[in-house]
């Protein structure tokens, strides 16, 4: 269910939206909704990535489990060459 929302825009932004909407033969509200959806998806993915990094750091801090850069590079090199190999085992 769509709910109307009010957004204050500078005249120049409003004009740009109206111009692009006309070029795309879409209503301006469709263009704004599409832009907001894409922004939210991008930012939610970014937030999930940052959270995964924080979680990994906390896990490392509490367990000391890790792989070295060399181990990771060797594993990635094998993947790049087409080999399906398991990731290196973590160690303390």
**Concatenated DSSP letters for 1-70?**
----------HHHHHHHHHHHHHHTS-HHHHHHHHHHHHHHHHHHHHHHHHHHHHHHHHHHHH--B--HH
Confidence of residue 3 (pLDDT cuts 50, 70, 90): very high
pLDDT given at position 39: 98
pLDDT given at position 65: 95
pLDDT given at position 24: 97
Q: What is the Cα–Cα distance from 69 to 29, expressed in whole angstroms?
A: 48
Per-residue pLDDT of 6-26, as tens digits, reads: 999 999 999 999 999 999 999
Per-residue pLDDT of 12-64, as tens digits, reads: 999 999 999 999 999 999 999 999 999 999 999 999 999 999 999 999 999 99
Q: Looking at residue 87, what DSSP letter applies?
A: P
* Per-chain mean pLDDT for the chain: 96
Q: Looking at residue 26, what DSSP letter applies?
A: S
Q: What is the Cα–Cα distance from 87 to 92, expressed in whole angstroms?
A: 16
Backbone angles phi, psi at 79, to 5 degrees: -65, -40
- Provide the 3-class DSSP secondary structure of residue 1: coil
């Amino acid at each position: 269910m769509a709910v109307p929302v009010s957004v204050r825009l500078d005249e120049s932004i409003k004009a740009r939206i109206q111009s692009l909407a006309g070029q795309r033969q879409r209503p301006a509200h469709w263009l704004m909704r599409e832009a907001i959806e894409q922004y939210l998806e991008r930012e939610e993915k970014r937030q999930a990535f940052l959270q995964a990094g924080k979680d990994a750091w906390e896990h490392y801090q509490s367990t000391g489990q890790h792989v070295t850069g060399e181990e990771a590079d060797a594993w990635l090199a094998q993947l790049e060459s087409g080999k399906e190999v398991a990731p290196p085992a973590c160690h303390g």
